[in-house]
Structure 1
């Protein structure tokens, strides 16, 4: 019985560390353990990974990035500017990536909800309804101006890619 419990439960220090990480980050103990396992496979003797290793760690947890994305992630996460990140900095990366994933799900669901006729585009009327639901009621002129700004293909409507870009921009936060 004790052997089984010993295998299932990490040592007390590890549990306490995991509990502290759960408080700091919005991850479960299981998620943290999975991230730690992936990170540990590539970390150096100081507990750090390079940008190249970061790409491999992310792949191991099911996240794929381009080289440019990896470089940008590293620049944001490498708080001490060593060109390496430690596990805490890695958890910060994962938290940001999870937030972006959550936001993209919300945006996708919002687009499907507001595309009332299901044609894959938002008209002036549909966009006005979107903005009203977001707590930003607008006049026809304001909505038409928004469409002009967001309508990259010039068809007078907002498609999903344009909607995503518009809702992700700082201008509409």
Structure 2
């Protein structure tokens, strides 16, 4: 089913994602948890980040925040270099150090070595 969604991941990563997506931590995901997880992955891959005619500003904001939260693994409000690398590798986009530097240079507007939500939105839109 994940392949039909265009998501390519290893078995180990699937196990980790299921654990993360499970609200109870028991490894079981209900339909709502699954749909939230799919939305996050799609937003991360850029499928829901731009307007597609009928998306409201609220829907776009929600999708961008979901994508940001996928990157911000420790939920501290910032995407670090390591979090950026991990998120890109999670969606099958391994990056070199030079590529990471380029992304950080584009997104890190205040040059503090990390990307906050506002910088993330500006980078994507």
TM-score (norm 2): 0.50
- From the two aligned structures, give the one with the greater helix fraction: 1
Give the structure with higher Rg (CA): 1
Higher RCO (C-alpha 8 Å, min separation 6): 2
